[in-house]
Amino acid sequence: MQAKLVKKLRSCIQPGKRVHLVGIGGVSMRPLAIVLRERGMEITGSDMNSSVSTDELAARGIQVFIGHRAENIRGADCVIRTAAAHNDNPEIAAARAAGIPVFERAQAWGILMQEYKNAICIAGTHGKTTTTGMVTHIFMEAGKDPTVMIGGYLPLLHAGHRVGSGETIIAESCEYCNSFHNFSPTVAVINNIEEDHLDFFKDLEEIKASFRHFAELVPAGGVIIANGDDANTADALKGLPCLRFGLGQDNDVHPENVSEDWRRCTVFCGGEPYCELSLSVYGKYNLVNALGACAVAWHMGIDGETAARGLAGFRGAGRRMEFKGRCNGAEVYDDYAHHPHEVRALLEAVATMGYERIILAFQPHTYSRTKALFDQFVEVLKLPDLLVLGEIYAARERNTINIHSSDLARQIPGAVCFDTLPEVSEHLRSIARPGDIILTVGAGDIYKAGEAICQRDE
Question: Is residue 216 assigned to a domain?
Answer: yes
Continuous segment of H or E residues that includes residue 47 = strand 42-47
End residue of a domain, out of 105, 138, 161: 105
What total of structural domains would you count in the chain?
3
Judge whether 402 lies within some domain: yes
What CATH number has the domain bearing residue 125?
Answer: 3.40.1190.10
Q: How many CB atoms lie within 10 A of CB 440?
A: 31
Q: What is the mean pLDDT of each run of 10 residues along the chain (458 residues)?
A: 80 95 89 88 94 90 96 96 90 97 93 93 96 98 95 88 91 93 96 95 97 98 98 98 98 97 97 97 96 98 98 92 95 96 96 96 97 98 98 93 98 98 98 98 96 75
Longest dimension (CA), the chain: 63
Residue 434, domain member (yes or no):
yes
Looking at residue 1, its pLDDT comes to 56
Residue 2, domain member (yes or no): no
On whether both 332 and 285 belong to a single domain, the answer is no
The CA angle 210-215-218, to the nearest 5 degrees, is 140
Contact of 314 with 134, CB cutoff 8 Å: yes
- Determine the pLDDT at residue 52: 82
- Domain presence at residue 72: yes
* 145/58 same-domain check: no
Residue where a domain stops, chosen among 287, 312, 337: 312
Structure letter (DSSP) for residue 111: H
Tell me, yes or no, whether 264 and 198 share the same domain.
yes
Closest to 290 in 3D by CA, of 270, 272, 264, 320? 264
Would 95 be classed as within a structural domain?
A: yes
Same-domain status, 427 and 387: yes
Instruction: Provide the pLDDT for residue 456.
Output: 56
Q: Which of helix, strand or coil describes residue 33?
A: helix
Task: Report angle CA 319, 172, 82 to the nearest 5 degrees.
Answer: 85
Q: Residue 28: what pLDDT?
A: 80
92 and 153 housed in the same domain: no
Length of the chain: 458
CA distance 52 to 190: 31
Distance, in Å, from the CA atom of 321 to the CA atom of 334, rounded to the nearest integer, reads: 5
**Which 3 state secondary structure label does DSSP give 211?**
helix
Q: Are 78 and 119 members of one domain? A: no
Question: CA 34, CA 263: separation in Å to the nearest integer?
Answer: 35
224 and 200 within one domain: yes
pLDDT of residue 458: 45
Please tell me whether residues 134 and 99 are part of one structural domain.
no
| Residue 3 placed within a domain | no
Q: How many helices (H) and strands (E) does the chain have?
A: 16, 21
CATH number at residue 90: 3.40.50.720
Judge if 327 and 272 occupy the same domain: no
Asked if residues 136 and 146 have their Cβ atoms less than 8 Å apart, the reply is: yes
- 154 with 287, same domain: the answer is yes
How many angstroms separate the CA atoms of 50 and 64, rounded? 9
CATH of the domain at 337: 3.90.190.20
Residue 3 has a pLDDT of 74
Q: Same domain, yes or no, for 210 and 337?
A: no
Structural domain harbouring 77: 15-105
- Would you tell me how many other CB atoms lie within 10 Å of the CB of residue 241? 8
Residue 34's pLDDT is 87
**Active-site residue set:** 128-129, 172
SS3 of residue 200 by DSSP: coil
Do 150 and 89 have their domain in common? no
Q: Which residues are registered as beta bridge partners of 81?
A: 22, 104
**With left for phi above 0 and alpha for psi between -120 and 50, is residue 319 left, alpha or beta?**
left
| Boundary of a domain, candidates 87, 105, 123 | 105
Is residue 439 one of the residues assigned to a domain?
yes
At CA 457, angle to CA 455 and CA 458, rounded to 5? 70
